[in-house]
Each structure stands twice: as structure tokens, then as C-alpha cells.
Structure 1
Amino acid sequence: MAGPQCCANPPALNPNSGEGTVKEFGGLLSYITGSLDSKAAILLVSDVFGFEAPNLRKLADKIAAAGYYVVVPEFMHGDPYDPDNTERPVLVWIKDHGVDKGFEEAKPIVSAIKSKGFSTIGAAGFCWGEVKAPIAVLGAEIDEYSPPELLEQFEGVLSVEGYVKIFPGVIHGWTVRYDVEDKKAVEAAEEAHQDMLDWFAKYVK
């Protein structure tokens, strides 16, 4: 979560975007969408720009529409990465937002989801990850931080069931930081979203 492409195409954050609600959940503000009567729950983890990104919330709503209760925690604590803040480049900013910290903060979120009656929980994230369950890796062809040749090595050493799929002609962040006016970008993002939904349908029941 520290490559230059991780910070490209920053979204215009909008705290009022999405069909869900924002409330405290498991100790963090979270964007919540979907019904408590859903078949299972999904923990959706943002990239460096946080949980107010409209495309991210649109994706959360799409997952909810497929029958899941979705929680998008505000792991950034009101401090999403700001590429315009030259006094705090990403390698400085990330010291306050490491994966280890997010992992620990996710534990009470998971407990809160379980307290709602969900015994099955899936997760999807952008630029974060721990591989202890079946995993689908959807990668970009143009990615300096995680190039296709590296992702293909992952597939060869996965100790859990999973697969790697490389999307041609797209760059890092294409699934949530795409231009909604670019037809090809939208098509690639929507294909990845469907792959994710298919994965949840298979494993998160």
C-alpha cells in the first residue's frame, strides 16, 4: 500500500454518497448497507482514500443488492491520504495507517458483525490483504506495485483455494477509482465487481 499508483486518480470524497448509512460500528465509524436479514456479511476495506469514496460506496451497495450485509469501516480515522499535502507524502502518511493497525482494528468490527447474528463473513479489500481463506486476486495489467508477473507467482504458491485474474489495459486502482465517463473503464470495473460477487456467492454462504 505504498506504491505511487496507490495514490493515482484520487476520488472526490463525498460523505453523503451511497444508499447506506454511516454510524459507529465496532468502535469505528462505518458505512453500512444491506439488510440484517441478509444471508451473510461482507467486510469491505477501502484503499488509502478511505470510506467516503463514491465508487467504493456504490460497490458496497451493489454487494448489498446481491444479498449481503456490508460494513465499510473508516480505518483512516478521518485522515484519508491527501496527495495535495506535500508535507505528508504517502510514505510518511502510511506510518499512521499500517496494515497491522488495520488488522487489529478489524477484530472488533468482525465481533460486531457476529453480534448481529452473522456466522459467515467474507472480506474484500483494495491494497490490503491477509491470505488465510479462499482468495481471488484481481489484478491490473499496468501495475508498478503488483505487476502481473508477481501476481502470477501468487497463484503458484497459494496454500488456499484461489485464482489470479489479470485485467488487460487497466491500471492499479481500476475497480474503485475509475472514470465513470470512460466506457471501457466502467466495463472493466464492472467485470471485476461481478467476479467478486461470484466469488462471494461460492464461498460466503
Structure 2
Amino acid sequence: MANEANPCPCDIGDRSDYGGLGQEVQIDHIKAYVVKPSAPSDKAVIVIHDIFGWELPNTRYMADMLAANGYIAVCPDFFVGKEAWSPTKDWAEFQEWLEDKKPTNINKEVDAVLKFLKEQCGSKRIGTVGFCWGGVATHYLALLYPEIKAGVSVYGMVREREDKYELKSPTLFIFAENDQVIPLDQVSALEANLKEKCTVAFQLKIFPGQTHGFVHRKREDIDPADKPQILEARTDMLSWLNKHM
């Protein structure tokens, strides 16, 4: 299996050399990677990167995949120019690095991107997809933005807030069974509380045998046994967006 390191093993051994099909643009105070589908579309997805930042080829590949399925995809730099995490850094410094890059402190950037999508791209239905750090951000936005029609949070969840279960937009949570970052008891607690308190559609899905980072980080030719679940998770992501957008 891929990606066994702690505390956020998104990038171990599986970095893609993918180049990307979109272009980089300036949206208000932030840069963003934007890729559009071949046919006009009024549907858009904000792709929220992990701790390795908006330029990571693996995340841009996911944006391109969304565009190939009919969505305008935009991956903004939610670190706003600050240095992304690097696998060469000392994990003992991670919390200090994270201090000014909280995934629950992105409202200014999200508002700018929403304005861009509505006014410059003609987007009428907007969703979010986020990975790891971005999965937390996706969960957070689902609590605050009813105008976001659907969210897919991939191995991420808000943990530090009390009001984290009353979602405003339908959200799919994708988890890995062998995720050392998100224990299954936390996933079970999230599901139980959502069943009690959430009034919009939601789903939690755990992928057996997989580890953190498998959906967007795993090179599918490293371990053929992983490929079916990688493809299933991506299909689930697209199906959720298609259903709710």
C-alpha cells in the first residue's frame, strides 16, 4: 500500500509528473489553476489542495479530470503565496508551519473565487472537492455556504469545532481504512453525529485496505491491486457532484 508515513502521508513515493491542461490566472489576491471543459458549462468545482499546495501535479490532474467530465475546475492557492509543505521538512515542525494556514480560515479566498466563477465564468452551480487539508476545508465550507451545491471531502474532516455536523450543502466523505491520520473511530463518530444532526444529504465511505492519499496521490501503476478502489473513489466523487449539481 502507498503512503505510510505520518502525520500526513500524501506525498510518499507517489508524486506524479503530470503537466496539466489548464492555465494559471490571478483571482483577486490569489493565484489559481483553471481548466475548462471542451463544451460550455455553468457548473464549476473549487478544487482544494492538500498541504503540498496548489501547484502539485497530482491535484491538477484531478482538476483536469473534473473538466473532462463537464465542470469548470479551479484550484486556488489557498496558502496565498506562503510556502507549501515539503516532504523534506521535519514533521516536528508541522504544527508551527500550519499555524498561519488553517483550512478553516479561507473565507476571504473562497468569496473571491465564488465571485470569479459567477461573474467571469458564468457558473450557476458550484461545488467543492478537497484532499487532506482540502478535505477539512471542504467540510468547513459545507457548514457555512448553502450556495455550494455539493462537496466531496477526501480524507479530511473538521475536528476542532463544536458546530461541525449541521451541514448546509450535501457532502460525500471518502476515507481510507488504514489511514494513520484519521482513525476509524473518528469516522464512526462523525457519521453518528451527522445522522443525528444533519438535515441535508451526506454519505461516508471507507475504502478497505487503502491508506491516506490513495485517491489523488497514488500512481495507479505502482500496485495494480489498488487501481479498482482508486477508480471507484473517483467515480463516487463524480457521481456525487452529478447528482447534487
| TM-score for both structures, normalised by structure 1 | 0.88
Higher mean C-alpha deviation, range 21-30 or range 68-77: 21-30
Does 2:74 correspond to 1:71?
Answer: yes
Counterpart in the other structure of 2:176: 140
Counterpart in the other structure of 1:200: 241
The correspondence of residues 102-141 of structure 1 with structure 2, limited to 5 A, is 102-115=106-119, 116-127=121-132, 128=136, 129-130=139-140, 131=142, 132-141=168-177
Counterpart AA for 1:97: K
Describe the SS at the equivalent of 1:146.
Answer: coil
Counterpart in the other structure of 2:203: 163
Counterpart in the other structure of 1:47: 50
Alignment partners' CA distance in 2, 1:102 and 1:70: 18
Alignment partners' CA distance in 2, 1:198 and 1:32: 22
Report the count of equivalent residues: 201
Could you tell me how far 1:87 is from its partner in structure 2? 9.0
Could you tell me how far 1:45 is from its partner in structure 2? 0.1
Q: Give me the CA root mean square deviation.
A: 2.3
Alignment partners' CA distance in 2, 1:78 and 1:7: 20
Would you say the 8 A contact 1:180–1:186 is kept in 2? yes
Describe the SS at the equivalent of 2:8.
Answer: helix
Could you tell me how far 1:144 is from its partner in structure 2? 2.4
Could you tell me how far 1:44 is from its partner in structure 2? 0.6
Could you tell me how far 1:40 is from its partner in structure 2? 0.4
| TM-score for both structures, normalised by structure 2 | 0.74
Higher mean C-alpha deviation, range 178-187 or range 103-112: 178-187
Alignment partners' CA distance in 2, 1:124 and 1:87: 26
Would you say the 8 A contact 1:44–1:124 is kept in 2? yes
Counterpart in the other structure of 2:40: 37
Counterpart AA for 1:81: W
Counterpart AA for 1:61: D
Alignment partners' CA distance in 2, 1:81 and 1:30: 18
**Which ranges in structure 1 are unaligned for 5 or more consecutive residues?**
none
Could you tell me how far 1:27 is from its partner in structure 2? 2.6
The percentage of aligned residue pairs carrying the same residue is 28
Does the C-alpha gap of structure 1 residues 86 and 68 become closer, same or farther in structure 2, counting only changes over 3 Å?
same
Would you say the 8 A contact 1:43–1:121 is kept in 2? yes
The one-character-per-residue Cα deviations of 1:63-112 (angstroms, maximum 9, x if unpaired) are: 11111000000112251101313397211110121123323321111111
Higher mean C-alpha deviation, range 40-49 or range 128-137: 128-137
Alignment partners' CA distance in 1, 2:91 and 2:70: 43
Alignment partners' CA distance in 1, 2:110 and 2:16: 22
Could you tell me how far 1:60 is from its partner in structure 2? 0.9
Would you say the 8 A contact 2:15–2:217 is kept in 1? no
Would you say the 8 A contact 2:42–2:122 is kept in 1? no
Counterpart in the other structure of 2:20: 18
Alignment partners' CA distance in 2, 1:104 and 1:142: 34
Alignment partners' CA distance in 2, 1:104 and 1:157: 29
Alignment partners' CA distance in 2, 1:157 and 1:26: 37
Alignment partners' CA distance in 2, 1:89 and 1:192: 32
Alignment partners' CA distance in 2, 1:124 and 1:8: 16
Does the C-alpha gap of structure 1 residues 85 and 146 become closer, same or farther in structure 2, counting only changes over 3 Å?
closer
